[in-house]
Amino acid sequence: MNPKLVNANQLIGEFQGLIRQAVGAGCKITLRTDDRLWLCHVDPALLETALLNLVLNARDAMPDGGVLEIATQNIVVEEDAVAGCPAGPYVMLSVTDTGCGMSPEVRDRVFEPFFTTKEVGKGTGLGLSMVYGFVRQSGGHIAVDSTAGVGTTIALYLPRAAQGPDAEEEASQTQAMPTGSERILVVDDNEDLLKVTSEMLAIFGYQVSSAGNATDALKMLQAEQDFEFLFTDVAMPSGMSGVELAREVKRVKPSIKILLTSGYAREILERQNAVDEFPIIAKPYRLAEVARRIQAMLHES
Ligand SMILES: Nc1ncnc2c1ncn2[C@@H]1O[C@H](COP(=O)(O)OP(=O)(O)O)[C@@H](O)[C@H]1O
Ligand SMILES: [Mg+2]
């Protein structure tokens, strides 16, 4: 984790284009944000991934359209006011949908890794377990309020940052959403990250395929010659590493552009003598940053 002082409103603002495209035209989106929101101390890349996971779940719950509301609010939780949440000041970020809702049985299991009610290939069951892990590691709390047939609210309570006098927000920057249409192969053994990253790139217009390990990735690259970009994790437990994959792909198809990612980039790359060989983006990454890097690399000659 790489926590920073984060203004959740700003993060949502930067992310709005992606959220709109993710839920599609069938859903109305409303933002209800507190203008004087406190800062929280969290890893912004992980908050972004968590938010996208919540939004994608809301989209999946509203196949026939509906309303998605994203809200932020300062809240001081009193002792025993919110079950399981320690008393204190929090920034609350909630995502509400008017979708299918959950039965109490489903509701009780949503944070279990691999628990999904979606068909094979659609759900990994890892979204909410990731969100839960992130919130708990940040010292926060997560609350699920859902009624079958009515809708769902998932609220993240992120501890208010203890601000020193020199704590300053990073300059606000609204970024244009990068788009493209090229064929990209994404490889990562972390299923949830693979899914969220692939969905994000597909939302930006790319034709995305994904693989959970290097062997599958090589098979896909051999079966289809037209991939223009490979975005791969470096450290994968089984078989070939991302660096070995990148070298093999480059050998067979020299024109392909390759971007690596890793949670411990430097050490691993140094061990494999690949520091200057391929560009790399450190994990956890900001989704928009990945999209920008990919777009820039596709357009450089
Ligand atoms: N907004 C929501 N509305 C209804 N059900 C939901 C919602 N979010 C999550 N769920 C339920 O929780 C399950 C687990 O969610 P998640 O961990 O994100 O995995 P996945 O989305 O891959 O199924 C979903 O399969 C669904 O049954
Ligand atoms: Mg999900």
Distance CA 161, CA 183 (A): 41
> pLDDT band at 172, cuts 50/70/90?
very low
Q: Quick one: DSSP state of residue 125?
A: S
Q: Please check whether residue 65 is in contact with residue 29, taking contact to mean a CB–CB distance below 8 angstroms.
A: no
Which CATH number goes with the domain that contains 248? 3.40.50.2300
Compute the average pLDDT of residues 283-301.
89
One domain for residues 200 and 147: no
Compute the average pLDDT of residues 237-259.
91
One domain for residues 131 and 257: no
Region of poorest pLDDT, from 165-169, 191-195, 241-245: 165-169
Probe ligand 1: pick from 128, 147, 194, max atoms within 8 Å of CB?
128
Percent of the chain with pLDDT over 90: 66
Does residue 169 lie in a domain region? no
Rounded to an integer, what is the distance from CA 129 to the centroid of its chain?
Answer: 13
> pLDDT band at 277, cuts 50/70/90?
confident
Domain of 144, in residue numbers: 4-159
Does residue 263 lie in a domain region? yes
One domain for residues 124 and 28: yes
Distance CA 68, CA 73 (A): 17
Task: Return the ligand number nearest the Cα of 95.
Answer: 1
> pLDDT band at 165, cuts 50/70/90?
very low
Tokens (6 digits) for 253 = 């198809």
Determine whether the shortest distance from the Cβ of 106 to ligand 1 is under 6 A.
yes
Compute the average pLDDT of residues 271-295.
84
Helix (H) or strand (E) holding 46: helix 44-61
110 CA → ligand 1 middle, Å: 6
Does residue 177 lie in a domain region? no
Nearest to 30 by CA among 67, 73, 72, 74: 67
Determine whether the shortest distance from the Cβ of 117 to ligand 1 is under 6 A.
yes
Which CATH number goes with the domain that contains 117? 3.30.565.10
One domain for residues 192 and 254: yes
Q: Which segment, 172-181, 182-191, 265-274, is predicted with the most confidence on average? A: 182-191
Compute the average pLDDT of residues 252-268.
84
**Per-residue pLDDT tens digits for 18-66:** 888 888 889 999 999 998 999 999 999 999 999 999 999 999 999 999 9
Compute the average pLDDT of residues 214-228.
91
One domain for residues 50 and 103: yes
Q: Please check whether residue 68 is in contact with residue 97, taking contact to mean a CB–CB distance below 8 angstroms.
A: yes
Asked if pLDDT for residue 236 goes beyond 80, the answer is yes
Number of domains in the chain: 2
Does residue 86 lie in a domain region? yes
Nearest to 158 by CA among 95, 84, 90: 90
Q: How many residues does the chain have?
A: 301
The helix/strand count (H/E) of the chain reads as 9, 12
**Per-residue pLDDT tens digits for 128-164:** 999 999 999 999 999 999 999 999 999 999 999 986 5
Determine whether the shortest distance from the Cβ of 262 to ligand 1 is under 6 A.
no
One domain for residues 19 and 120: yes
Does residue 166 lie in a domain region? no
One domain for residues 80 and 9: yes
> pLDDT band at 267, cuts 50/70/90?
low
Does residue 164 lie in a domain region? no
What pLDDT was estimated at residue 275?
66
Probe ligand 1: pick from 69, 110, 132, 191, max atoms within 8 Å of CB?
110
One domain for residues 64 and 147: yes
Does residue 174 lie in a domain region? no
One domain for residues 12 and 153: yes
